[in-house]
Structure 1
């Protein structure tokens, strides 16, 4: 395995972000959801228009994990008004840490998580927060291991299905 590198992504990585997003979202959630809901979500949330707008937003940052020339995951963080829910000016949201299944257990998610913490500290944020599907036990354990605690829940609309996300927060020292 070649060394993993993390690089900030811009509009030129549109296709890369879309490909990783679609692939990893499908790998993670296809089995537990209907094909129609999955198709609708992928079409709406990884469209050229939506991902281009996210990549162009100065308050949202993307970082792609690479093994050599192969993209294997990405991170998306949001600050201030780009956060998906109002959590204050001093919060940084981890909206996505997506890693291809073949790279689970190889510390790629940890590297992306550490990049998020680095950004939070650089931006003088007091806490990092996120929402994770209550049925994604592997992700919940990952965040708990990294010092996150649950503080609330919210509904995530997935096609015609309403799912519950656990909202988790980590206070930075």
Structure 2
């Protein structure tokens, strides 16, 4: 087996379709079996619409990074600071809104590479905390974040279709 080499690049507006494609695929792979087809379809259409992704990519307080294996995108990271954060936190916080990795690349350290980029980015902006929300039933992700030093500090409701789901809020203090 040849050594997998993944490179992470900052994404820009030219990457809009790539972000849409990875976002839809990875969200489906992770959550489709736990949710209705109807709810998934609506969420994917709204969350990854061209207008929404375009406006996110143009927001100076959001930062996107794509993980590439040769010319194939295998995951991406979305970070938010200031008013781009999905919950009101002060400017000492940076949010990891998404670390999405294709199922084909689970267990291959792609998530860790994206997380490391998030950590480096937060430190370069002199943030004191990284925080995120993670679905309470996504144990794989919760364990990943705990392993990386995150602790729970609350929860919030994430609505998918007619279903209210609980996201655990986790944060990590940066030195």
> TM-score range, shorter-chain basis?
over 0.9
Q: Residues of 2 paired with 1:126 and 1:74: CA distance?
A: 23
Distance 2:89 2:104 in 1: 33
> What is the RMSD computed on CA atoms of the aligned residues?
0.6
**So what's the TM-score if we normalise by structure 2?**
0.98
* C-alpha contact 1:2 1:68 (8 A) present in aligned 2: no
Counterpart in 1 of 2:174?
Answer: 172
- Pick from 67, 83, 93: which aligns with 1:65? 67
User: What secondary structure, in the 3-state scheme, does the structure 2 residue paired with 1:87 have?
Assistant: coil
- The aligned counterpart of 1:125 is 127
Q: Deviations for 1:13-51, whole angstroms, at most 9, x for unmatched residues?
A: 000000000000000000000000000000000000000
4+ runs of 1 displaced by more than 4 Å? none
Q: Which secondary structure does the structure 1 equivalent of 2:91 belong to?
A: coil
1:127 touches 1:169 (CA, 8 Å); kept in 2? yes
Provide the C-alpha distance between the structure 2 equivalents of 1:61 and 1:107, rounded to a whole number of angstroms. Answer: 21
Q: Number of paired residues?
A: 173
Provide, for residues 95-140 of structure 1, a one-character-per-residue CA deviation record: whole Å limited to 9, x for no partner.
0000000100000000000000000000000000000000101000
| Unpaired stretches in structure 1, ≥5 consecutive residues | none
Q: Following the alignment from structure 1 to structure 2, what is the Cα–Cα distance between the partners of residues 137 and 106? A: 17
* Partner of residue 109, structure 1: 111
